[in-house]
Amino acid sequence: MTQTKAKSRKSPRRSEDSRAAILEATREELAENGWRKFSVDKVSRRAKASKQTIYRWWPAIGNMCVEAAISLIPAHRNTGRDPAERIADLLAPLEHAIRTGSGHAVLRGAIIASCDDKDAGETWRAWLKDNIRAPLRMLLAEIASKKVIRRDYDLEDALDTLTGPIWNRVLILRAPLPDGFGNKQAKLLLRQLAP
């Protein structure tokens, strides 16, 4: 009599743990080697996960890098009432991620991956749209209706004013963001858009 062993499948909890381990290993690899020297083999060894599992979940490795970086960024919380505080609150999660541990190196690697890899770029742009662009558009429309800023602002210019210095510091200067960065950028934007 032969017994057929039932195929063991990973439980949802085990899959979650494996996925988290892969994303953590991805962050470590990005921090140590960056995107251009990124090694899936090293991620696989660190996470104790097969490369087959990694490629099944992330056919585009750049996308895995972006997801690993995005998972460092906490959810946005609106704590201010003043327009400058509310605008600064949009940048606060990004600032937090950049300042925490090797977050600046992980984000740098993910942003470079998003430039090199189409799928990663789409994931990064979708995150920016949902977490910075769309909330900023709504906030600027609200404060324009109250005549705090003029109505003929350009959203792309506003985004560049707020986030351009972040990308410059992370990608080019490889420098930390100074204290009060978000507030400074928010006040600069409001001065530029004054009626």
Instruction: State the sign of the Cα–Cα–Cα–Cα dihedral 14, 20, 21, 26.
Output: positive
Domains of the chain: 12-61 (1.10.10.60), 70-192 (1.10.357.10)
Q: pLDDT tens, position by position, for the chain (195 residues)?
A: 444 444 445 555 678 899 999 999 999 999 999 999 999 999 999 999 999 999 999 999 999 999 999 999 998 887 778 999 999 999 999 999 999 899 999 999 999 999 999 999 999 999 999 999 999 999 999 999 999 999 999 999 999 999 999 999 999 988 878 889 999 999 999 999 999
Which two tokens mark 9?
């499948």
For residues 104 and 72, is the Cβ–Cβ distance under 8 A? no
This prediction's pTM = 0.85
